[in-house]
Amino acid sequence: MPQDANKVKDHFELFRGEEYVDMLARKKAEFENPHPAEEVARVREWAKTEEYKDLNFSREALTINPAKACQPLGAVFAAVGFESTLPFVHGSQGCVAYYRSHFSRHFKEPTSCVSSSMTEDAAVFGGLTNMIDGLANAYAMYKPKMIAVSTTCMAEVIGDDLNAFIKTAKEKDSVPEDFDVPFAHTPAFVGSHITGYDNAMKGILEHFWDGKAKTAPKLERVANGSINFLNGFDGYAVGNLREVKRIFDMMKIDYTILGDQSDVWDTPTDGEFRMYDGGTTLEDAANAIHAKGTISMQEYCTEKTLPFIAAHGQETAAFNHPIGVEATDSFVMEVARMAGVEIPDELAKERGRLVDAIADSNAHIHGKKFAIYGDPDLAYGLAKFVMELGGEPVVVLSTNGGKAWAAKMQELFDSSPFGAGCQAYPGKDLWHMRSLLFTEKPDFLIGNTYGKYLERDTGVPLIRIGFPIFDRHHKHRYPVWGYQGGLNVLVTILDRIFEHMDATTNVPSKTDYSYDIIR
């Protein structure tokens, strides 16, 4: 018997015992009707070929292992960034269970969100009653300051009208007349989670700035000197927002983070559960109309929000998840320009320290080939940084990136010899990536947790950067933005490279001459 009370074996070891190995071999041989091992091996090898890749890329209908989620996830992300705000997703309830699980698995934090729990009768008659009861219950139980409504695909397919429903719910006293219930239609069959972020953020700003769905006067913009900041859908929200606030404080600028998730997804374990914590105050969200300008860290997360803000008379600037020296330079200089402040010397010093670190370490990255995937802005930001380090991206893939993104990527590749030969793959998934890893043979892969399957199948070592990261802990606490963030990304990349070096040089009397103590 393999189990031992004094040295308990769990799944990691238990099933490697002879009893289990034999049992599972018998199960397979006698009952599973398996394909012959040679046939499995043949197909496995075939799936590594150019021929398979061509077949794989000729897919028109099937999506396999996409690196994107659906709109309401992004809407929930945006909503929890506001003070005491409860996200309310109108439609089927299972969706909300999924969003909550998904975020909790990434942030290792609670995620509060409610559903209007629509079922078959609502599919026939519409979900108005669900909205009326749902708002009343959520308001009474969870005492939010705001309820931000979005939709699942069910509510979208049957065509529920959020504006009208919320109005009716207020008439029926579900929530007080002046209670803030911004909304956004977020159909899952359009765009991805970044589209949902965009729609929800725009919905919230529209609510506060443009007369709260005709229940209040529109705000008149009286320009001041402050700057608004949009992070976009960001798995590093906790670390990044704190870093950005630190930088803004150093620069002594007046700013508003629109959607600050850094506290609600990083609450202390001190005996008290905080359902809400931190976040942009509703007053600040309203007053953000008066800002001089708005900075978006992720262009493709704010394709509607930023023009909406510009239309209210503000300057706007969009970045692509800036990582590294040059991207951070552009960000910092644009903030300084917009706010009319000088960049403090301390920041120049931080910059110099990042350059110093790159100078120390770039030899280990120079010339290495990278495959990168992620949301369009993140993929851009990572590719730019890799090139800055002397690395060579060869594949940059974004399931939710479009043609405009691909063109922008190409411009980036063309801007440097380190981008020569790299191709952008918009709208492709991780099964496409699998083929590319076999045929393009990069040295490293950068992506989220799901990349571990690619690492297993192709042997290309994975550097975990992205969303979601389920199988490593606390990465979201460390910024990837700012010079400090660049340093974190550099170290993440280097650690994996060094680990890989050690793991491939440690066979005694065979490879261990390269198993160096100093690198």
Partner 1 sequence: MSVSTPTDIAEVKERNRALIQEVLEVYPAKSAKRRAKHLNVSEEGKSDCGVKSNIKSIPGVMTIRGCAYAGSKGVVWGPIKDMIHISHGPVGCGQYSWAARRNYYIGTTGIDTFVTMQFTSDFQEKDIVFGGDKKLAKIMDEIEQLFPLNKGITVQSECPIGLIGDDIEAVSKVKSKEFGGKTIVPVRCEGFRGVSQSLGHHIANDAVRDWVFDKSEGKEPLFEPSPYDVAIIGDYNIGGDAWSSRILLEEMGLRVIAQWSGDGSIAELEATPKAKLNVLHCYRSMNYISRHMEEKYGIPWVEYNFFGPSKIEESLRKIASYFDESIQENAEKVIAKYKALVEGVIAKYRPRLEGKTVMLYVGGLRPRHVIGAYEDLGMEVVGTGYEFGHNDDYQRTAQHYVKDGTLIYDDVTGYEFEKFVEKIQPDLVGSGIKEKYVFQKMGVPFRQMHSWDYSGPYHGYDGFAIFARDMDMAINSPVWSMAPTPWKKDDGDYLAIAAE
**Residues known to be catalytic:** 153, 157
How many residues bind partner 1, per CB under 8 A? Answer: 112
Contacting partner 1 within 293-352 (CB under 8 A): none
Strand order in the sheet with 114-115: 114-115, 85-90, 146-151
- How far apart, in whole angstroms, are the C-alpha atoms of residue 512 and residue 67? 38
Residues facing 126 on adjacent strands: none
Judged by beta carbon, residue 59 or residue 337, the one nearer partner 1 is 59
Interaction of residue 4 with partner 1, rule CB under 8 A: yes
- How far apart, in whole angstroms, are the C-alpha atoms of residue 224 and residue 162? 33
Contacting partner 1 within 45-64 (CB under 8 A): 47, 52, 55-56, 59-64
Among 91, 182, 322, 419, binds partner 1 (CB under 8 A): 91
Judged by beta carbon, residue 45 or residue 512, the one nearer partner 1 is 45
Interaxial angle between packed helices 345-361 and 237-250, expressed in degrees from 0 to 180 and rounded to the nearest 10? 130
Residue 275 CB, nearest approach to partner 1 (Å):
4
Among 16, 75, 76, 119, binds partner 1 (CB under 8 A): 119
Judged by beta carbon, residue 460 or residue 487, the one nearer partner 1 is 460
What dihedral do alpha carbons 270, 271, 276, 278 form, nearest 10°?
A: -20
- Which among 101, 85, 170 is positioned nearest to 131, based on CA atoms? 170
Residue 371 CB, nearest approach to partner 1 (Å):
17
- How far apart, in whole angstroms, are the C-alpha atoms of residue 262 and residue 170? 31
Contacting partner 1 within 65-84 (CB under 8 A): 65-66, 68-70, 72-73
Judged by beta carbon, residue 123 or residue 343, the one nearer partner 1 is 123
Residue 305 CB, nearest approach to partner 1 (Å):
21
Interaction of residue 223 with partner 1, rule CB under 8 A: no
CB 138 within 8 A of CB 179: no
Among 16, 24, 50, 352, binds partner 1 (CB under 8 A): 24
Residue 423 CB, nearest approach to partner 1 (Å):
21
Contacting partner 1 within 179-198 (CB under 8 A): 187-190, 192
Interaction of residue 118 with partner 1, rule CB under 8 A: yes
Judged by beta carbon, residue 65 or residue 410, the one nearer partner 1 is 65
Contacting partner 1 within 265-304 (CB under 8 A): 267-276
Interaction of residue 455 with partner 1, rule CB under 8 A: no
Among 319, 380, 450, 467, binds partner 1 (CB under 8 A): 450
Judged by beta carbon, residue 158 or residue 216, the one nearer partner 1 is 158
Phi first, then psi, for residue 369 (nearest 5°) are -100, 135
Counting beta carbons within 10 angstroms of the beta carbon of residue 229, is it exposed (0 to 12), middle (13 to 18) or buried (19 or more)?
A: buried
Counting beta carbons within 10 angstroms of the beta carbon of residue 255, is it exposed (0 to 12), middle (13 to 18) or buried (19 or more)?
A: buried
Judged by beta carbon, residue 62 or residue 311, the one nearer partner 1 is 62
Return the ∠ at Cα 212 (arms to 208 and 214), rounded to 5°.
145
Residue 108 tokens, joined: 């290792």
Among 49, 101, 330, 504, binds partner 1 (CB under 8 A): 101
Interaction of residue 31 with partner 1, rule CB under 8 A: yes
Sequence-separated (6 or more) residues with CB below 8 Å from residue 368: 391, 392, 443, 444, 497
The secondary structure of residue 159, as a DSSP letter, is T
Interaction of residue 158 with partner 1, rule CB under 8 A: yes
Phi first, then psi, for residue 326 (nearest 5°) are -65, -40
CB atoms closer than 10 angstroms to residue 338: 21
Interaction of residue 508 with partner 1, rule CB under 8 A: no
